[in-house]
Amino acid sequence: MVRVLLAEDMHLVRGALRALLAGSEGIEVVADTGDGDRVVAAALAHRPDVAVLDVDMPGTDGITNAAVLRERLPGCGVLILTAHRRPEVLRAALAAGATGFMPKDAPPERLAEAIRTVAAGGTAIDAGIAARALTAPPSPLTERETQALALAADGCEPREIAKRLHLSAGTVRNYLAAAQVKLDARTRLDAVRLARESGWLPAGPVARG
């Protein structure tokens, strides 16, 4: 029996997933939560074989939790279940130690199959998302330009970005301007849009310094 921890903040979705998995042969949901800050504690308490984690949750996001589980509970496989089909989200999930990545609109039988695959030590990644990640062109942005643009995408002004990256405001403005030129964007918001569509902005927290 594959023991599963389910983390999804939307109550209706979590309930539907729990009911779906309860009807899948060989799978048992041993715990569920809608709070990202409770994922690791629940995993340590119930010792699941697979943690099925949503990316966007209140508190700690799913990708950060995946990285923590890799360190604290290495016997627990992680499957990211998300509405995001962007290549950078897949890359971040794999870097965090997830071995499963499925869209929320995947057929029920595929989700159950993916959970069994991850529990057995295999990799289960949606083929369409994987193909897009492999064929996406390399980013023309430097690491600092990417960090500055990602923070701008979160609504931070240059002074806040400078504080978080331990840079001067003038340097940050230069990075944002360079990113805008490289992406042939008319405005900063247009640069954010183009970078996101191309999969060049990171998912999750941006590194500081």
208 — pLDDT class (breaks 50, 70, 90): very low
133 and 91 Cβ atoms separated by less than 8 Å: yes
Q: How far out from the chain centre does Cα 172 lie?
A: 26
Nearest to 33 by CA among 21, 19, 15: 15
For residue 38, give the DSSP letter: G
Per DSSP, the three-state class of 118 is helix
What is residue 133's predicted lDDT score, i.e. its pLDDT?
67
For residue 141, give the DSSP letter: S
Task: Take residue 100 and report the two structure tokens written for it.
Answer: 């499963």
Q: pLDDT digit string (tens) for 115-126?
A: 999 999 999 998
Q: Could you give the domains of the chain?
A: 2-135 (3.40.50.2300), 143-197 (1.10.10.10)
pTM score of the predicted model: 0.69
| One-character DSSP codes across 67-81 | HHHHHH-TTSEEEEE
More confident residue, 47 or 104: 47
More confident residue, 54 or 202: 54
Q: pLDDT digit string (tens) for 169-196?
A: 999 999 999 999 999 999 999 999 888 8
Nearest to 106 by CA among 25, 197, 13: 13
Element (H, E) at 100: strand 100-103
Whether the pLDDT of residue 36 is over 90: the answer is yes
Signed CA dihedral, 105, 108, 109, 112: sign only: positive
* Interaxial angle between packed helices 11-22 and 108-119, expressed in degrees from 0 to 180 and rounded to the nearest 10: 70
